[in-house]
Structure formats: C-alpha cells, structure tokens
Structure 1
Amino acid sequence: MLNWLKDSANKTRVRLAAEASKFKNRSFMEAVVSGCALVAAADGDISADEKQKMAGFIQRADELKHFEMRQVIEVFNKAAGDFEFDAAIGKASALQTIGKIKGKDDQARLLVRVICAIGAADGDFDAAEQAVVREICVDLGLNPADFDL
C-alpha cells in the first residue's frame, strides 16, 4: 500500500511538472512554429519536408515535447493560413508572435537555429529564407553573423 501511494505521488508530481512546463513554454512553442512557417513561406511554398522537420523538432525538444502534436499543428495551420490569406498579414502576425520571446536570449538563439534548419529542410536554404532569418535576428536583438547569415 505504501509503495502504491509513493508511486502515485511520483506520477502526479511528474504530470504536474509537465503541465507547468507546457504552460511556461507555450509562447516559445508558438514562436518556434510561427518562425518555421515564416521561413517556410519565404520561398512561396510551405513544403512537407519543412512541416515534418518542424514537427520532429517539437517532439524531441525537452522544452516542447510536452505539447500535443495537435496543438502544434493548430498553431502551424493558423500561421500558414495567415500567409495564404495575405503574405504581409502572415509575416506581421508571425513576427508579432516571435517577438514575445525577445529578451530571452537562450530561447531566441534556439529559435534561430531551428528555423535555419527548417529553411534548409528542402535542400536549399535560399537567399529569401536567409533574409527572413536575418530580419528575425534583428527583431530579437541578435546578430545575424552569429548564425552565419
């Protein structure tokens, strides 16, 4: 009986930690997903490779793996839908979401590294995608040269 109680308490503690982590990192998840959509849309096409690479990162990142893929897809589809409606609106919305992590240098740097990988997911990290990442760096107060941009 005592072992069951200890196991139950440990499971509850782990579940609560995961829920707290999810709440704490929601803005980071939304920024990463919006950044991925922004870079993916830079060449005019959001490819399946780019979507899969973004989903794979979310599933493996300690800061984000607690999110259900359904939530990630909802955020991505909203961002992609904004681009489909109007490219300027999509870009403005994505930059606004990304801006929520400004001043959080570790998160901002990780976001830039992820979106660089997403840009290269289709085999070509082209000039338009690089220009978008440079703009994101400047908006976040990061030096694009730190990321070879």
Structure 2
Amino acid sequence: MRMSFFDKVKGALTSGREELTRQVGRYKNKKFMQGTVAVCARIAVASDGVSSEEKQKMIGFLRSSEELKVFDTAEVIEFFNKLVTSFDFDLEIGKGETMKYILALKDQPEAAQLALRVGICR
C-alpha cells in the first residue's frame, strides 16, 4: 500500500516534533526556559501584538507544548505574562527585556538555536 503525500508530511512533522522535544530535554534549566519563552513572546508581539486573544493563544500553546513540558507550566506562563506586560508598558522596554533573555543563550549556540526552533514551531 502506498503512503500518501500527506501521510509522509504528517510523519515528517511528527518525527520532527519528537526530535525537538527530545532535544529540549537536554536543556532543562531556567536560562533555556527564559530564552525560549522570550522568543515566543517576541514572536507573539511581532505577529499580532499583545492582544488578550494572542496572549490566550500563546498560553494555550505553552500549556500544551510537548517541547516545554519539561518545565513547570505555571512558571512558564508567569514568565510569559511578565514579558508581555513589559511590551504593554513600552514597546522598546519589551524588546529590551526579551532580548536580554534571548542573548543570555549566546554562549550556548545549540541551546539558542533550539529556543528559536521551539518559538517558531508554535
């Protein structure tokens, strides 16, 4: 029986997510969590702003993300809300706050790249 194109794509995506989840498990530390959530917050703001709908969508992702399940969900959501609030206060302050946590990963290029991949896959 031939596998359809969509089955192949679905299989590739599933195995890609599983690999991403496995890799995140290697970086189970606060610095990585903060950098990853900062990427997610920055993307959320850049794509749709920080409307309450976008916040809820992002919180839903943070709760259900296989990649981020290695972290305490309440801590992840609290940190996301903290970052988003800094954008509510002032766009430039929000950008600075998120970049502070993203740049903290610069001494770990693999972790930084993984944080970007998780943020983009949301």
TM-score range, shorter chain: 0.5 to 0.7
- What is the aligned counterpart of 1:49 among 28, 40, 57? 57
- Structure 2 residue runs of 5 or longer lacking an equivalent are 1-24
String of CA shifts for 1:100-129, please: whole Å, max 9, x gaps: 1113122111111112123xxxxxxxxxxx
Q: Percent identity of the aligned residues?
A: 34
The CA distance in 2 between the partners of 1:45 and 1:78, in whole Å, is 12
> 1:76 maps to which residue?
80
Deviant stretches of 4+, over 3 Å? none
- Structure 1 residue runs of 5 or longer lacking an equivalent are 1-20, 119-149
- What is the aligned counterpart of 2:38 among 6, 11, 34? 34
The CA distance in 2 between the partners of 1:32 and 1:25, in whole Å, is 11
Query: Which secondary structure state, in structure 2, belongs to the residue aligned with residue 101 of structure 1?
Result: coil
Contact 1:36/1:54 (<8 A) preserved: no
String of CA shifts for 1:56-111, please: whole Å, max 9, x gaps: 22xx23xx534321111111110011011111100101001111111312211111
Query: RMSD over aligned Cα, in angstroms?
Result: 2.2
TM-score w.r.t. the length of structure 2 is 0.66
For 2:101, the aligned partner's letter is T
Higher RCO structure (Cα 8 Å, ≥6 apart): 2
Contact 1:40/1:50 (<8 A) preserved: yes
Query: Which secondary structure state, in structure 1, belongs to the residue aligned with residue 69 of structure 2?
Result: coil
> 1:112 maps to which residue?
116
The CA distance in 2 between the partners of 1:39 and 1:75, in whole Å, is 15
Contact 1:30/1:75 (<8 A) preserved: yes
For 1:91, the aligned partner's letter is K
Q: Which structure would you say has the larger Rg?
A: 1
Aligned length: 93
Contact 2:50/2:84 (<8 A) preserved: no
